[in-house]
Amino acid sequence: MDEKFDALVLRTADYGEYDRMLTLFTLQKGKISAAAKGVRRAGAKLRFAAQPFCFAEYVLAVRGERRTVISASNTDGFYALREDVNKFYAAAALCGLCDVLLFENIVNEELFLRAVAALKEMCDGDELLALLRFFLRALSLSGYALAPLVCADCGQELAGRAYFELSEGCFTCADCARGAGVSAGTLAVLRACGEEEGAACREEELTADGKRRALKLLYAYFRTKTDARVAAIEELLRLP
């Protein structure tokens, strides 16, 4: 029996002489694994389909529990992501997050569509903002939503310096002050990236430092919730 999926390559692992195991995020079946045989040979027809962030329609042969790629037709290779180290790690970070947050065979259409849209956005625009928007949405779809950006203790609007309590994922004001300090620049980024679609977001007012700190904060929170690491996020935070 053959299966056909729209899928994004989340992870690859080489095995044998020329083969590669793919972790695919499919629209129709969630996360699955599939073997791609011979794809590391020079000139292999399916070489493109075994690259990270490849978005294609895959036809898989199923035998028992095993799936093997028979053919693939490219939907979007997101090539711009391979030509810029920041974009590359942002895309790898997105894939790493999906890999941790998804369970095998559990469909998550919204996360899939957002992942594809975010990769597109990374190609053409600000890759960190695209990653942060995706990260916030992915956390909330996985049951780890951040608390609203008001003080969790007294309810007042957060202005200027605020505080973030990692274990609860909530913010407090400078008077209530629980957890680690959060700069106004970081809050501005989180506010802009968490906004519902259609809401105005003045990207040019967000600072590079704010974006980096926002990523650091979300990653620290993600680690306390999942106990998992995403190497590409750590790389991204190390990049100058």
Write out the binding residues for Zn ion, residues 51-70 only, by CB under 5 A.
none
Residue 78 CA: distances (Å) to CA of 56, 81, 130, 213, 224: 11, 6, 14, 26, 31
d(C-alpha 130, C-alpha 3), whole Å = 31
Radius of gyration of the chain (CA): 19
By C-beta, is 107 or 176 nearer to Zn ion?
176
Q: What string marks each residue from 150 to 179 as x (binds Zn ion by CB under 5 A) or -?
A: -x-xx------------------x--x---
Query: CB 151 → Zn ion: shortest distance, Å?
Result: 3
Query: CB 190 → Zn ion: shortest distance, Å?
Result: 17
By C-beta, is 29 or 161 nearer to Zn ion?
161
d(C-alpha 77, C-alpha 74), whole Å = 7
Query: CB 213 → Zn ion: shortest distance, Å?
Result: 21
d(C-alpha 137, C-alpha 117), whole Å = 12
Query: CB 124 → Zn ion: shortest distance, Å?
Result: 40
Phi, psi of 175 (to 5 degrees): -80, -40
| Among the residue ranges 2-10, 32-40, 148-156, 193-201, the one whose residues contact Zn ion (CB under 5 A) | 148-156
Task: Give the torsion through C-alpha atoms of 89, 92, 94, 98, to 10 deg.
Answer: -160
By C-beta, is 82 or 161 nearer to Zn ion?
161
Identify the burial level of 21 via C-beta atoms within 10 angstroms of its C-beta, where 0-12 means exposed, 13-18 middle and 19 or more buried: middle
Closest CA to 95 of 42, 23, 157, 162: 23
By C-beta, is 158 or 188 nearer to Zn ion?
158
Write out the binding residues for Zn ion, residues 63-102 only, by CB under 5 A.
none
By C-beta, is 64 or 160 nearer to Zn ion?
160
Query: CB 153 → Zn ion: shortest distance, Å?
Result: 5
Query: CB 149 → Zn ion: shortest distance, Å?
Result: 12
How many residues touch Zn ion under the rule CB under 5 A: the total is 5
Task: Give the torsion through C-alpha atoms of 128, 129, 134, 139, to 10 deg.
Answer: 90
By C-beta, is 100 or 162 nearer to Zn ion?
162
Binding site for Zn ion (CB under 5 A): 151, 153-154, 173, 176
